[in-house]
Structure 1
Amino acid sequence: MADDDVTTPAVDDRNPAASGDAVTEEKKLLEYAVQELPAHAVKELISHEVCVRCIFRLFIIHEGIYALISPTILYSIIEKATEVEAVTTNSSQKSEVKSSICSICLGVMQFIYRDQTDILVEKDHAADFAMLVAESVKEKYHEIASFTLEVSLPTLITENESVILSHMKKKYASEVWFQEKFSFEHIISVKDALKLSITPSLETLLGVKSSVSDFRIRLTYEHVDAPSAENRMGKNQCNKRIKSGNGFVNETVQSGDVSDFNFQLKKVGQPCHMILTCSTAPVYIGGRYLKLSRNVSQTRWIIDDERKGEASVEELIGENILPMCNGDGYKFHAAGREDIDVRMLGSGRPFLIEIQNARHLPSEASIKEMEKKINSLESNLVRVKHLKIWGSQGWSLMREGEAEKQKQYAALVWISRSIKDDDLEAVSSLKDLKVLQRTPVRVLHRRSPLDREKIIHWMKIEKIAGSSQYFLLHLCTQAGTYIKEFVHGDLGRTQPSIGSILGCRTEILQLDVTDVKMDILNE
């Protein structure tokens, strides 16, 4: 049967009243499919402790639902169809063959594994194994719209399969059955076989469909006895991955004579350890924040185990939102940043909180309640507005805005002489002024030494009553402009600067961001 015709209906042979007819039909399909299998080749695979489901895989037999039929029935089908007498000669030997760990799949397709507490778990049916997976998922996640199943396997599986395939090719390549029934290109991988086996049952048990989904169920198999390929293969051998219709098949390639091939199959006495993890795509909750203190950093700022500032915007917002989503953690993203001593006023700065592995998607009403909660914190250091759930596109748009949009500032400036009316005109007449800024001295320890050209779109000076050497500088600049350095010149590293324009020494005393003009994360 072609791979596109693979079907795995949710049938369980343990319940004859519900599924007996279906199982009988599937058994007939399997019996018919294995009638022409070469008995001597099957016998050899069994002697190398290859499980019956892997035998079906290697002979490209996908008819029926063999993963949902017990190994006892599967072996009886193999024995009946191929008359493999050696397997049935001794009942104890027969039992031992069935219970041994498959030398290829390491128990994966036998549904035998050790869990995270090192307890041995054995299931005869894919349906039983799928039930364990579904129950584990339901314990923590209650809102699943769909799921994607991911499987990670140890390389020992592909290495052992490569050894088996190469051995079979060397020994039987001249026989007709090998040429007709043993196509490397169409062998379904252990990973894909496992997915096909349990996905239908998982869909039924979870009540949702498998698709390209934000919710991922991941089965990670690891084997403690897995040696490296170099230790198991000769020095003149290497593994070459060949793309097939269903995945990759490893074929052993040798630089020497093929007749020198040494059949080395790593037998294992224990199954894999299996770890089940679930994760969801990040949930993005964003809006605009205002920072009202000159002693609050944007993100956690800790140097030599000592915190700088009394808090951070990141923590004040993120640690209040995280419990609402029941997530594992969060990341804070903002459209630019201000220094710890710079307030963020006016319309606020756009931000996103990325909630990792959120188990609960909050409602619009709960988001509004969270906004009120943050704004009513006793510290009154940070406020938020326009809080809402965003898709991942919000992150991309915000990053674009960080580099392309405009920001407005208000700076309290000291001048080394008295301010004149001509100074007001000289500054306000400058439009779209190009400024070349070398990386400021204060950030050279963490930023590359580069020259950056920025634009000052407009400026105006506001006099302060009763003071001739202090004024407020209002300006609108391209995002990413270093405002402090534009005011005092940074030892000539910023040209021109307010100091060079006015022809005197200037210092910045206080700075506030008053507006961040961006088209996203607005109400």
Structure 2
Amino acid sequence: MGEECMLEKQLVEESIRQSGLPCHALRDLLSIGVCPRCIFRLFGVHGDVYSCLSLSSSLLWSVLDLSNGHEEATDCKVHEGSSSPQDLKVGPEFCVVCWGILQLSYDEQAQQTFDLVASTAQLVKGEGFEIDSFSLEVSVPPIILGNERSVWLYMKKRYGSESRFQDKFFSGSISVKDALRFSITKSLEEMLAVKVAVRSFHIRFTYTHSDASSKISLVQGSRTDGHKKQKRGDKELLEGIDASDLEINKESFGLDIAEQDRIFQVPPAKVNQPCKVTTLCYRTPVYVGGRYLKYSRNVSQTRWIIDEERMGETSVEEIIGNLTLSILKADSYKFHAAGREDIDVRMLGSGRPFLVEIANARSLSSHTEFAELQEKINNLEPRIVRVKNLKEVGVDAWTILQQGEAEKQKQYAALVWISRSLEDEDLKCMSSIKEMDIIQRTPIRVLHRRSPLERKRMIHWMRAERIHGSKQFFILHLCTQAGTYIKEFVHGDLGRTHPNLGSILGCRAEILQLDVTDVKMDCFNS
């Protein structure tokens, strides 16, 4: 036996000694097919014993001096009809409680070799994830709770007179999920060269078993027998139970003891097929924020396809999103912005705040990467979109964006035509307007996709700037509440916006060109 195996055997011996586990009970549980990790967790044993790679039934038998079927103590007898240590080596059998979840590697007669730790490390590296830490998530079949209760009933029937085996003798037990974490965390940390921490990268194990579904059906049938109507949602509720989150007691699964004994064999039946595990590696979304400027009047904010025909040259969303996806080596993205401008409206000045929600990024984000990303976007030809202040932001930035879309101020510059000559009195009139309320019914141009509502908005201020050599054209600068329809405020939208610039000046008014010049949101500044 190698030095490492000797050390692990000593650790098992020490765990048994310090925990005061009864020899006869350990032998008995081994004989009915409970794996060592389940034995230790059911008795509430903590420590490094779970991470022993060589921890197996044969090792525990040898620690108990039973590797040759030898019985040396009168208080350590295996129950009649149980398997001997030699019998346990025949055929691929798995733990009758965890159904192989805590048997981390096996090959024997299963015609395959499976090693949970090695396969997980290979998956993480194979998918190209760069990680600085990881967290473990585990989902197990709820029916394992019934297996634990079967063992509880078995031990109570055999050893109920002993103080250790009273009603609550499993009350300090460790869940299968926690025991699995204890078992593999150290090895995974070594293989991945990083530590466990509550961070953005997650490894999720989802265990399923075909027999679990059939037993759930039996439980469901027993819970509804004798009732005229089946309680809606019972099966879904049961399937949502996590075995490790429930106390093992006589009311498990809402069945009486007789029904539980009928469904869950005591002791549990032998298991020839282990749980199937699906391993998923993923990173929680990365949020990249900044401000964008749009210089073209033929570029939409988001991808715009009507009847399979693209509207405009491209979109701000695609330019920024696709490059971000490439740099961070992610699966997909979602683009969010603080409001939107029409395809024919430029976004100038300070730019419009935006977020790109990046799903499952393989690359660790850094200041250098964001600087590289910003440079790539800004150097694209033709230069129709530019970004600034690009950086990683927290998920709370999404809430700030939503608030800004409805509550913040936005500034515009518009080229306006009126049906008569612009007078000095008109300039004074527009400049005198401060904090003016307007009512806007949903514009005709968006009625096909917006609810027909009346919205109260505010014009904070306006000022007009003459254009040299022109009597009917001028530049209108205005600051409004976010969500104001600027084109409709100028021309009135057949009276659906009131008051409007045309009614204020007493003439027809039209916008020929419109630019957004400022969207005030301090959190997206540099």
Query: What's the CA shift string for 1:156-177, capped at 9, x where partnerless?
Result: 3345445555x44885795444
AA at the equivalent of 1:144: I
Whole-angstrom CA distance in 2 between matches of 1:445 and 1:474: 30
CA contact (8 A) 2:94 2:273 kept: yes
Q: Deviations over 1:59-117 (max 9, x none)?
A: 334466145223311244465684316578666632237x3133332211112589xxx
Contact 1:30 1:77 in 2 (8 A): no
Separation of aligned partners in 2, 1:245 and 1:89: 28
Distance 1:376 1:104, change over 3 A: same
Residues 445/54 of structure 1: CA separation in 2 closer, same or farther (3 Å cut): farther
SS in 2 for 1:57: helix
- Report how many residues are paired: 496
Q: Secondary structure at the match of 1:367?
A: helix
Query: Counterparts of 2:487 and 2:150 in 1: how far apart (Å)?
Result: 67
SS for the counterpart of 2:351 is: strand
Counterpart of 1:185 in 2: which secondary structure?
Answer: coil
- Which residue in the other structure is 2:132 paired with? 145
Could you tell me how far 1:32 is from its partner in structure 2? Answer: 6.8
Query: Could you tell me which residue of structure 2 aligns to residue 94 of structure 1?
Result: 88
- What is the match of residue 515 of structure 1? 518
Counterpart amino acid of 2:89? Answer: S
Alpha-carbon contact 2:11-2:49 (below 8 Å) kept: no
Question: What is the distance in 2 between the residues matched to 1:184 and 1:443?
Answer: 64
Deviation at 1:191, TM superposition (A): 0.9
One-letter identity of the residue aligned with 1:479 = A
Note the 1:257-406 alignment, pairs <5 A.
Answer: 258-259=257-258, 261-265=260-264, 269-406=272-409
* Match 1:248 to one of 246, 249, 254: 246
Q: Is the 8 A contact 1:288 1:347 kept in 2?
A: yes
Q: Does the 8 Å contact 2:97/2:144 carry over to 1?
A: yes
CA distance in 2, matches of 1:86, 1:359: 56
Give 1:200's aligned residue.
Answer: 186
For residues 14-42 of structure 1, give each alpha carbon's deviation from its aligned partner in whole angstroms, at most 9, with x where no partner exists: 741x4624532432432675752665x97
Deviations 1:362-399 (A, max 9, x none): 55444334333222222322122233333444444444
Query: Does the CA contact (< 8 Å) of 1:415 and 1:505 recur in 2?
Result: yes
CA contact (8 A) 1:328 1:357 kept: yes
Contact 1:413 1:506 survives alignment (8 Å): yes
Cα pair 2:15 2:45 within 8 Å, conserved: no
Is 1:423 the counterpart of 2:409? The answer is: no
| Residue 177 of structure 2 is aligned to residue 191 of structure 1 | yes
Residue of structure 2 equivalent to 1:109: 102
Aligned partner (choices 58, 61, 72) of residue 42 of structure 2:
58
Which of 146, 155, 169 aligns to 2:142? It is: 155
* Counterpart for residue 77 of structure 2: 83
Report the Cα distance in structure 1 between the residues aligned to 2:292 and 2:106, rounded to whole angstroms. 50
3-state DSSP class of the match of 1:520? helix
Partner AA of 1:249 in structure 2? E
Letter in 1 for 2:88: K
Q: Give, in angstroms, the shift of residue 312 of structure 1.
A: 0.6
2:29/2:39 contact within 8 Å kept: no
Give the equivalent residue in structure 1 for 2:56. 70
Distance 1:121 1:339, change over 3 A: farther
Displacement of 1:425 after TM fit?
Answer: 2.0
Cα offset for 1:338?
A: 0.9
* Cα contact 1:188–1:247 (8 A) shared by 2: no
1:219 aligns with 2:230: no
Structure 2 CA distance, aligned partners of 1:265 and 1:35? Answer: 26
| Segment of structure 1 superposing worse, 391-400 or 168-177 | 168-177
Which residue, 208, 218, 222 being the options, matches 1:235?
A: 222
More strand by share: 1
| 1:457 equivalent in structure 2 | 460
- Letter of the structure 2 residue corresponding to residue 188 of structure 1: I
CA RMSD of aligned residues (A): 3.7
Q: Residues 348, 29 of structure 1: CA spacing in aligned structure 2 closer, same or farther, 3 A cutoff?
A: closer
Report Cα offsets for 1:289-344 as digits up to 9, x if no partner. 11111121111122333322220101111212222222222222222211112111
Letter in 2 for 1:248: L
| 3-state SS in 1 of match to 2:281 | strand
> Structure 1: how far apart are the matches of 2:273 and 2:211?
8
CA 85–262 in structure 1, closer or farther in 2 if over 3 Å, else same: closer
CA contact (8 A) 2:143 2:216 kept: no
Is 1:474 matched up with 2:477? yes
State the match for 1:9 in structure 2: none
Contact 1:398 1:520 in 2 (8 A): no
Q: Distance in 1 between matches of 2:134 and 2:60?
A: 30
Taking the aligned partners of 2:349 and 2:496, their CA distance within structure 1 comes to 30
Cα 1:446–1:179 shift into 2, 3 Å: farther
- Deviation for aligned residue 1:189: 1.2
Q: 1:50 to 1:146 in 2, by over 3 A?
A: same
* Structure 1 residues 120 and 337: CA distance shift in structure 2, 3 A: farther
Quote the Cα distance in structure 1 between the aligned partners of 2:191 and 2:482.
51
Change in CA separation of 1:92 and 1:246 when aligned onto 2, cut-off 3 Å: closer
Question: How many angstroms apart in 2 are the aligned matches of 1:93 and 1:168?
Answer: 21
CA distance in 2, matches of 1:468, 1:288: 36
Q: 1:307 to 1:163 in 2, by over 3 A?
A: farther
Corresponding residue SS for 1:345: strand
SS state of the match for residue 213, structure 2?
coil
Q: Distance in 2 between matches of 1:302 and 1:250?
A: 57
Structure 2 letter corresponding to 1:56? F
Distance 1:308 1:224, change over 3 A: farther
The alignment partner of 2:37 has SS state of helix
| Whole-Å separation in 2 of the counterparts to 1:35 and 1:374 | 65
TM-aligned CA distance change 1:82 to 1:33, over 3 Å: farther
Distance 1:161 1:61, change over 3 A: same
- Equivalent residue letter for 2:303: R
* 1:428-485 Cα deviation digits (max 9, x unpaired): 2110112222333333343344433222111122333444443322111122212122
Verify the 8 A CA contact 1:285 1:388 in the aligned structure 2: yes
Identical counterparts, % of pairs:
49
- Structure 2 spans left out of the alignment, 5+ residues: 225-233
What's the CA shift for 1:264? 1.3
Partners of 1:290 and 1:349 within 8 A in 2: yes
Aligned partners of 1:43 and 1:86 also within 8 Å: no
Native 8 Å contact 2:353 2:524 kept in 1: yes
Aligned residue type for 1:299: T
Q: 1:327 to 1:15 in 2, by over 3 A?
A: farther
Distance 1:332 1:70 in 2: 51
